[in-house]
Amino acid sequence: MRLTSDHVALITGGASGLGAAAARRLHHLGAQVVLVDLDEEAGTRAAEALGERASYLRADVTDGDAVAAAVDAARQRGELRVAVSCAGVGWASRILTRDGPHDLELFQRVVGINLIGSFNVLRLAAAAMSDLPPLDGDRGLIVNTASIAAFDGQIGQVAYAASKGGVAAMTLPAARDLARHAIRVMTIAPGTFATPMLDGVTEEIRTALAEQIPHPARLGDPGEYGLLVEQLVAHPYLNGEVIRLDGALRMGPR
């Protein structure tokens, strides 16, 4: 699809990290971008930095009414052609800890945000796209974000890996389901990226993480995630696939 100012991209988790990078790329392509995030200060700042054709809306991706309102707001700006789900959390815990078994509420919360939140955005964005006229053969594109933890989950990542594994597994059936509406569904599974999730990590640990990556031996740049989103928009034959974006990293158990 060739995006113009008549088209809108909705990005959850758009205030920072991968979401902000995707927003910058889509904005550069000419689309209007709607950043959806819980962090009002960061979201407002990110939208203002993009300037014209950018706005911020506060919404919890697990809240059906809130996401529906965000989708409606995006539709008021133009044709909603792209939805990118980057909202997520990475809380860690072993199944058995010194304090007892894995907290059930924590597991439910991680799955709720990462998996159910992604599906919530997918279903509502698809409904909005389904009424649009085809554009270069597509009515829209939905991009979800998994993780290589979906395939190489480490110790302490049982909730995170389960949630991201669900996102990956959802990709093909969603693409098949929405094919009759000419809506493509793709998933990106990033490796170790320099995002706010690593803000609390020491430089020594960041260096150690980078050294595990075969090539290039560095942390991923969020801009590279944004570049892949741009390429997914442009490539009409990519559909129903999970793309690992990880520099050939295969994570060990720890």
pLDDT of 115-149, one tens digit each? 999 999 999 999 999 999 999 999 999 999 999 99
pLDDT for position 210:
92
Contact 171, 241 (CB under 8 A): yes
Which pLDDT band, with edges at 50, 70 and 90, does 174 fall under?
A: very high
Domain boundaries, the chain: 7-194+221-244
DSSP code of 53? T
pLDDT for position 125:
98
Task: Write down the architecture of domain 7-194+221-244 according to CATH.
Answer: 3-Layer(aba) Sandwich (3.40)
DSSP code of 43? H
Average pLDDT over every residue of 231-246: 98
H or E element that contains 178: helix 158-178
198: pLDDT strictly greater than 80: no
Q: Which of 125, 138, 130 is nearest to 84 (CA)?
A: 125
The residue from 56, 160, 225, 237 that is catalytic is 160
Structure tokens at 6: 């008549």
Q: What is the mean pLDDT of the chain?
A: 96
Which pLDDT band, with edges at 50, 70 and 90, does 203 fall under?
A: confident
What is the tens place of the pLDDT at every residue in 27-79? 999 999 999 999 999 999 999 999 999 999 999 999 999 999 999 999 999 99
Which pLDDT band, with edges at 50, 70 and 90, does 202 fall under?
A: confident
Average pLDDT over every residue of 179-206: 90
Whether 225 is catalytic is: no
Average pLDDT over every residue of 75-94: 96
Q: How far is CA 137 from CA 30, 140, 233, 237, in A?
A: 19, 9, 12, 10
Average pLDDT over every residue of 227-237: 98
pLDDT for position 108:
98
Higher pLDDT, 254 or 129: 129
Structure tokens at 16: 């920072």
- What's the whole-model pTM score? 0.96
